Amino acid sequence: MKVQIVLLLLAVTSLASDNGLGLKPQMGWNSWNAYACDINETSIMEAADALVAKGLDKLGYTYVNIDDCWNTPDRDENSN
C-alpha cells in the first residue's frame, strides 16, 4: 500500500507544469467580515488604500473583493 501511494505521488508530481502559475495562493481582502451588508464606496476605498499603505500589495495582496449581500433572501416584486 505504501509503495502504491509513493508511486502515485511521484506520478502526480511529474505531471506538474513549471510555468510559474500557482506558486502562491490568490491573496486579497474581502469586505464581508468587516462590513457585512453595510458597504459603500468610501469604506471600500479606505480598505484598498490601507492595503497599499501597509505594504500588503508588495506581499501579493492584489484583490479587493466587494461582497454586497448578493445572497440575501429578501427580494422585491421584480425578484431583485
The answer to whether the CB of 29 falls within 8 A of the CB of 63 is: yes
Helices and strands counted in the chain (H then E): 3, 2
C-alpha cell at 53: 499603505
SS3 letters for 39-71? CCHHHHHHHHHHHHHCCHHHHCEEEEECCCCCC
Judge residue 57's burial from the number of C-beta atoms within 10 Å of its C-beta, 0-12 exposed, 13-18 middle, 19 or more buried: middle
pLDDT digits (tens, 9 = 90+) for 52-70: 999 999 998 989 999 887 7
pLDDT digits (tens, 9 = 90+) for 10-26: 555 556 667 777 777 78
pTM given for the model: 0.59
